[in-house]
């Protein structure tokens, strides 16, 4: 059995990562998922949160917001609607995004609009948590 898997992270605008990884964890719509080499094929809907890739050269983390993850033939492909490396996050900006989403949550709207607002809130919370230094 191989000791690593190929991990690709792609957004609509860029291919952000192509590495050999020993472990990958990502937020699925129904909870966090972890993947190692030898994992069975699957297709999962992404949620909002932190993607961690333990690459052969070190660990990398991104905040992802929606999309899909597919494991096929030793390759995990993350097709994210958006992905931001945690080192590029700004806590002030993330807090502003959360405040704007929270303000929108107080307004009346359709079910679809409410779902979008809740997604924005989860994504902003993930960015804020990742942007804050660990103490």
**What tens digit of pLDDT does each residue of 47-80 get?**
989 999 999 789 999 999 899 999 999 999 999 9
CA distances to 5, 9, 96 from 120, in Å: 31, 21, 12
The residue ranking higher by pLDDT, 68 or 101, is 68
Amino acid 133: pLDDT: 60
Count of domains for the chain = 2
Q: Which of 36, 68, 70 lies closest to 52 in space, CA to CA?
A: 36
Compute how many other C-beta atoms are within 10 angstroms of the C-beta atom of residue 5.
Answer: 21
Domain co-membership, 18 together with 74: yes
Residue with tokens 């107080």: 106
Q: Provide the residue range defining the domain that includes 40.
A: 5-86
Question: According to the model, what pLDDT value does residue 108 have?
Answer: 79
Q: What is the pTM of this model?
A: 0.78
Q: What is the mean pLDDT of residues 16-35?
A: 94
**Are both 73 and 94 inside the same structural domain?**
no
The fraction of the chain above a pLDDT of 90, given in percent, is 53
Q: Please, are residues 88 and 55 in contact by the beta-carbon 8 Å criterion?
A: no
């Amino acid at each position: 059995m191989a000791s690593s898997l190929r991990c690709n992270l792609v957004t609509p605008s860029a291919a952000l990562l192509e590495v050999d990884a020993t472990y990958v964890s990502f937020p699925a719509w129904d909870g966090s998922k972890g993947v190692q080499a030898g994992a069975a094929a699957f297709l999962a809907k992404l949620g909002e949160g932190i993607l961690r890739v333990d690459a052969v050269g070190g660990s990398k983390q991104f905040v992802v917001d929606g999309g899909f993850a597919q494991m096929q033939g030793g390759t995990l492909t993350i097709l994210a609607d958006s992905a931001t490396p945690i080192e590029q996050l700004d806590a002030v900006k993330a807090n502003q995004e959360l405040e704007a989403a929270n303000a929108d949550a107080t307004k009346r709207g359709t079910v679809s609009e409410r779902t979008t607002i809740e997604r924005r809130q989860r994504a902003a919370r993930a960015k804020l948590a990742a942007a804050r230094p660990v103490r």
